[in-house]
Amino acid sequence: MRSEPVSRSGRPAAEHFVARLDETPLQAVDAVDTTSAPRSMWAEAGRSLVRNPVFLISAALIVFILFVAAFPSLFTSQDPNYGDISSSSKPPSSEHPLGTTRLGYDVLARVIYGTRTSVMVGFLTMILATLIGGILGALAGYVGGFFDSLLSRITDIFFAIPLILGAIVIANRVDSMNVWMVILVLGVFGWTNVARIMRGSVISVKNQDFVTASKALGANPVINLVKHVVPNAIAPVIVTATVNLGVYIVSEATLSFLGVGLPTTSVSWGGDISVAQTALRTQPMMLFYPSLALAITVLSFIMLGDAVRDALDPKARKR
């Protein structure tokens, strides 16, 4: 249907086209599908992730890395701790696909079994740091007042200490370092970022209407924090923890490279890189293989964290 309005000056105004009422019934326009349940934030995030090629590639790499760490014997039959001097510095062959080191260790076996050490240290450190930072940040943001100021100052003190430097100082004070000591040291100095993010997220959530309604109904503060506040504030913490996992793997490799991390008896990418630098001119591939494995692993977790962040951030989804 066409209408030709006239402006106040007497000249024809812009034409408007209005659909006929029988062509667009109000029942069809205003109809709302009430049969399907609304999607939650996590459902929307999952739907966004499965369509993100960055997430699919990084997830596939991480699944493969975890499979290698869990079943290293499926990829090599060599013992990574067995060194045969008679096989020193051999080039790649059918018996040793990536060659051997100066002490006769199989390079492929060292790279494969080093995956287990690095992934275990990264995951357990991430869990420890996330628990410490998450609990302290949630309490500081929810309680507020003097308790918030006290925990914030403690967080600032630890935040001012570089992760690697603090770990080196503690490692030099310990008689013998092992996997568990490395995890403990990295976890003690690596929780500050999680605490800050958790605190800010809890502060933004605790003033929401559903939290106020829960308080009005007489909910216990602890139950209110655990049941209502934390589940709605934990999304940015998950993103940070995923990215930090790669940081912890690099930190463990750095400590082992400097000789203050895992002992020489442990199979570690950082230790192998440290040993390989002495033969850089004669056997550069000895340095390349563990470095490549470390780079791919860290890059996979960083890509995964970026993809999860974009999926959980509504503004990123709109962009």
pLDDT in tens, 205-244: 888 888 888 777 777 888 888 888 888 888 889 888 988 8
Class of residue 18 by CB neighbours under 10 A (exposed 0-12, middle 13-18, buried 19+): exposed
In the chain, the percentage of residues whose pLDDT exceeds 70 is 85
**Hey, which residues does 17 pair with through a beta bridge?**
2
DSSP-derived letter for residue 16 is E
Distance of CA 42 to the CA centre of its chain: 17
CA angle (122, 126, 131) in 5-degree steps: 155
Task: Please tell me the pTM assigned to this model.
Answer: 0.79
Give residue 11's pLDDT band: very low, low, confident or very high (50, 70, 90): low
Q: pLDDT value at position 299?
A: 92
Residue 98's identity, in one-letter code, is L
Longest CA pairwise span in the chain (Å): 104
Q: pLDDT value at position 27?
A: 54
- 228, 214 contact by CB (below 8 A): yes
| Residue among 255, 288, 246, 268 at smallest CA distance from 62 | 246
Neighbour-count burial for 27-57, b at 16+ CB within 10 Å, e otherwise: eeeeeeeeeeeeeeeeeebeebbeebeebee
- 305, 243 contact by CB (below 8 A): yes
* Residue 89 reports pLDDT greater than 80: no
Give residue 112's pLDDT band: very low, low, confident or very high (50, 70, 90): very high
CA angle (273, 275, 286) in 5-degree steps: 60
Strands 2-3 and 16-17: antiparallel
Give residue 127's pLDDT band: very low, low, confident or very high (50, 70, 90): very high
- 312, 236 contact by CB (below 8 A): yes
Range of weakest confidence among 38-52, 204-218, 251-265: 38-52
Would you state the structure tokens that stand for residue 170, as one six-digit string? 């503690």
> Could you tell me the fold of the domain covering 58-318?
MetI-like fold (1.10.3720)
- 260, 274 contact by CB (below 8 A): no
| Residue among 144, 243, 143 at smallest CA distance from 193 | 243
Give residue 126's pLDDT band: very low, low, confident or very high (50, 70, 90): very high
Give residue 30's pLDDT band: very low, low, confident or very high (50, 70, 90): low
